[in-house]
Amino acid sequence: MSHHHTLLGQILQMFPRFEFEKAVSETGTEYHARGFSSFNHFGSMLFGQLAGQDSLRGIEAGLATQASSLYHMGIKPIHRSTLAYANEHRSHELFKKLFLDMLSKCQPIAPKHPFRFKNPLYSLDATVIKLCLSLYDWAKFRTAKGAVKLHVKLNHSGYLPNFVVVTTGKVHEQKIAPSVPFEKGDVVVFDKGYNDFSWYKSTIKASISSPGSKKTLIIPLLNEETRMTLKTSILTRP
C-alpha cells in the first residue's frame, strides 16, 4: 500500500520532536495543559494557516475530516473551545522561539538574490491585517473596523524577514522607518509611503563613516505620474 505525505505532515517534519519538547520545557507552555499538548496546538494552528481557515470552527471541521491521517503526524482532532482556551491563556513565547530557531536554520542556506550586484537587497513595506473591533478594542482603525499594521524589512536572499514591527493600523510607515536598522552597502527599495527627505538624509549621512566606504542606497518606487526615465547611471557623492 503506497503512502503519501501531506503538506502539513512534511512541514511538521521540519520541527524535530526533541527540539520542540525542549522549547516547550523552556517556555513552560504546557503548565496545567490537561491533555492538550503544545505540539497538537501548533499543528492545529499550522493547519489553519495552510488551509486558509479564518475561524476556529473551520479548523475544527477541517481536522475532523482528516482524523485518520492525523495520528501519523502526532496530532488529533480538537474542539474549537479547547483551541480557543489555549490561544487565550497559553504564552506566545513557544511560537516565537520556534520561528527564531527556524529562521536561524534558513538564513545560512538561503539563495542569493538574482541581480548582478552583490550588495544585500531589501524591500521595506507594510500591510494592514484586519481584526474584529469588538474583540480588539485597542486596535481601532476605522469607525467600525479594527486592524494592526505589519511593518517588514524583507531580505531578497531567500525572501526572509530581517526586521518586523507590529503596530496599530493607524501608525504611518514614516513613523516606523527611522527605527529600521540598515548597514553600509544595503540596497533598500520601498514605495512612496516612506517618502520623507529628512529620513533619507539621516540614513545616508549615518552610513558614511569615511571617504570611499560603502553607502546605503535608497531606491523609492515611483508611480506612473512621477516615474522618470533615467538615461544615465545613478551617481552618488559624499
At residue 33, what are phi and psi to the nearest 5 degrees?
-70, -35
Positive or negative, the CA dihedral 174, 180, 181, 183 is negative
| Amino acid (1-letter code) at residue 49 | Q
CA gap 71, 90 in Å, rounded: 24
**Domain edge (last residue) among 107, 130, 147:** 107
Quote the DSSP letter at residue 138: G
Residues 6+ apart with CB under 8 A from 76: 40, 67, 70
CA 236 → CA 119, 150, 192, 218, distances in Å?
16, 32, 21, 11
**Domain edge (last residue) among 107, 122, 141:** 107
Take residue 114 and report the three cell numbers written for it. 538574482
Q: Total structural domains in the chain?
A: 2
Same domain, 101 and 131: no
Take residue 13 and report the three cell numbers written for it. 517534519
Same domain, 78 and 176: no
Model confidence, pTM: 0.74
Same domain, 177 and 120: yes
Is residue 94 assigned to a domain?
A: yes
Q: Are 110 and 160 in contact (CB under 8 A)?
A: yes
Residue-by-residue pLDDT tens, the chain, 238 positions: 455 678 888 899 999 999 999 999 999 888 877 788 999 999 999 999 999 998 999 999 999 988 888 888 888 899 999 999 999 889 899 999 999 999 999 989 999 988 888 888 999 999 999 998 888 889 999 888 899 999 999 999 999 999 999 999 999 999 999 999 888 888 888 888 888 888 888 877 766 433 344 555 566 665 544 444 444 444 444 4
User: What separation, in Å, do the N-terminal and C-terminal C-alpha atoms of the chain show?
Assistant: 69
- The parent domain of residue 102 ranges over 7-107
